Amino acid sequence: MTETKPAVLVTRRMPSAVLDQLAPSCLVDLHPGTDDLPHEEVCARLRGKQGLICMFNDRIDAAAIAAGDSLRVIATVAVGFDNIDVVAAAARGIVVTNTPDILTGATAELTWALILSVTRRIGEADRAVRRGGWTGWTFDFMLGSELQGKRLGIVGAGRIGRAVAAVAPAFDMQVVFAAKPGADRDSVSDETVVSLDELLLTSDVVSLHLPLTETTRHVINRRTLARMKRSACLINTSRGPVVDEEALSWALEERLIAGAGLDVFEEEPRVHPGLLQRENVCLTPHIGSATRETRAAMAALAVRNVVEVLGGRPAVTPVHR
């Protein structure tokens, strides 16, 4: 009698070399497009599946988990897992995994790209050249701000926040963290940890590196934006909803802060219209981990997690909550 292979739903196109690692031991149900699978279709296709490989923007809620009547493992190709009902999964004995560490360097690089783009007005200058707005060198054209001697305030002292901080000495910047108690707080020296309020009041660049939770949603709002220096800029490469975009648009309009660099948004792919036309805002389409090397490694780790769990072995990077 031939043993039936476990079936795995993969919600997005992935490198064929990575998917080939699933083929020997699993039956693969692949959504080959780059578009989102509707939630109803995710639920329908989860029936009878033992494994799920999903992306951060797939909503794997209690309904989806209930539809996956045979699920044993959910592997998200992301660090954050706020899109997955981990409690519902745990109640069913389903292992949830993520892809930590791998995207740290790529996201830190993009964070610095946004910092430099905003402070040195790179996007604005590029647009000026393209539309013929540059007629020759002048002494005071496109003046930006230097980073040397300034303070970088990092909200969240996880892997990515620390990787961003590691580059700051190259620009002769002082670093402070607003870190939560526990693992984050233990990973940085006490002298660099300040309250969020002090960080906002004193930092020239505020960079967000937070997971999305009930306590971090809209942590940047009208009140906290009003605490920032008028010469400061805000950078977000973590999760969109940690920033209240309506409040950010207001703060920029009122010139309460000097600019912003955003790679993530509250209602992706929608961007608040108040941000779209502002020259002092740099917008990128959630590309923090978008390098060939990083995305391939993330996909490979997710596949490995599924293969290990379905093979009766422990997950490589299980989510603990």
The reply to whether 230 and 121 lie within a common domain is yes
The reply to whether 31 and 59 lie within a common domain is yes
Average pLDDT, the chain: 94
What is the CA angle 210-107-164, rounded to 5?
75
CA-to-CA distance for 121 and 133, rounded, in angstroms?
Answer: 14
The reply to whether 54 and 123 lie within a common domain is no
The reply to whether 43 and 136 lie within a common domain is no
CA-to-CA distance for 162 and 71, rounded, in angstroms?
Answer: 35
Residue 257 belongs to a domain: yes
Global pTM value: 0.91
pLDDT number for residue 34: 81
Burial of 314 (C-beta count, 10 Å sphere; 0-12/13-18/19+)? exposed
**Number of domains present in the structure of the chain:** 2
Query: In the block, which residue shows the tokens 């009930």?
Result: 214
Which residues does the annotation mark as catalytic?
239, 268, 286
pLDDT number for residue 190: 76
Residue 1 belongs to a domain: no
pLDDT confidence band for 181 (50 / 70 / 90): low
The reply to whether 144 and 215 lie within a common domain is yes
The reply to whether 252 and 117 lie within a common domain is yes
The reply to whether 86 and 164 lie within a common domain is no
pLDDT number for residue 23: 87
Residue 147 belongs to a domain: yes
The reply to whether 82 and 126 lie within a common domain is no
The reply to whether 69 and 164 lie within a common domain is no
Mean pLDDT of 136-155: 97
Q: CB–CB of 76/96 below 8 Å?
A: yes
The reply to whether 157 and 263 lie within a common domain is yes
pLDDT digits (tens, 9 = 90+) for 56-114: 999 999 999 999 999 999 999 999 899 999 999 999 999 999 999 999 999 999 999 99
The reply to whether 61 and 158 lie within a common domain is no
CATH number at residue 301: 3.40.50.720
pLDDT number for residue 238: 97
Mean pLDDT of 158-165: 96
